[in-house]
Amino acid sequence: MTGEHLDATIARRVRRLETLLEEKGLITGERVDEAIDAFLASSAPANGARVVARAWTDEAFRSRLLADGTAAVRELGYMEGSYQRLRVVENTADTHNVVVCTLCSCYPLRLLGPSPSWYKSEAYRSRVVREPRSVLREFGLELPDTVAVTVWDSSAESRYMVLPRRPEGTEGLAEEELAALVTRNALIGTAAL
């Protein structure tokens, strides 16, 4: 089943469930819209940036984040109600990580906000697996040949987020100032800081 077909099937199921709940008087369409709006309002790349800044300033949190991303992020209140497993992969001097969902566009929405259109595109989903350096170069990220590139494929059960390398010269910055440096693309791995 292709990603588009799976997305359409899920969308039909969701709509049918909404219709049944409305018909039984358990919820109104307006309440469904309010819940979706509230969820999206609390879903933003700033959440992922705060997670990264905490990892950069708190070694114990960083260790927990890399060992069990779901539990560590729940400490900050970002994974409540989520059934997916979050795996956080760390960029180092020798390894650069990039995230994709080859089947559809699975993505840690609460931490990164709505996914960019390019993340959902078939071109990105297929090419980043086959030729990650070329795709990263198109994003303006040129990595030395000595840096290994690892591509992580998200799924319905598991989501990935990149822990970017902390920029040099930021040792004196507070957590809030560090969070302001983190971009959504860095959290996906298509950019470095």
Q: How confident is the prediction along the chain (193 residues), in pLDDT tens digits per residue?
A: 444 444 456 567 767 777 777 788 877 777 766 665 555 555 678 999 999 999 999 999 999 999 999 999 999 988 665 667 999 999 999 999 999 999 877 888 889 888 889 999 999 999 999 999 999 999 999 999 999 999 999 988 899 999 999 999 999 999 999 999 999 999 999 999 9
Q: Rounded to an integer, what distance in angstroms lies between the CA atom of residue 129 and that of residue 36?
A: 32
Reply yes or no on whether 106 is catalytic: yes
Domain-by-domain residue ranges, the chain?
3-40, 43-188
pLDDT value, residue 11: 60
Query: What spatial distance separates the first Cα and last Cα of the chain, rounded to whole Å?
Result: 37
pTM of this structure: 0.80
Q: How many CB atoms lie within 10 A of CB 146?
A: 7
How far is residue 66 CA from its own chain's centroid?
15
pLDDT value, residue 49: 96
**Which is the catalytic residue, given 42, 43, 63, 101?**
101
Reply yes or no on whether 104 is catalytic: yes
**Which is the catalytic residue, given 63, 82, 104, 158?**
104
Residue 188, class by beta-carbon neighbours within 10 Å (0-12 exposed, 13-18 middle, 19+ buried)? buried
Q: What is the sign of the dihedral through the CA atoms of 168, 171, 176 and 177?
A: negative
Q: Which fold has domain 43-188?
A: Nitrile Hydratase; Chain A (3.90.330)
Reply yes or no on whether 63 is catalytic: no
pLDDT value, residue 12: 72
111's torsion region: left (phi>0), alpha (psi -120 to 50) or beta? alpha
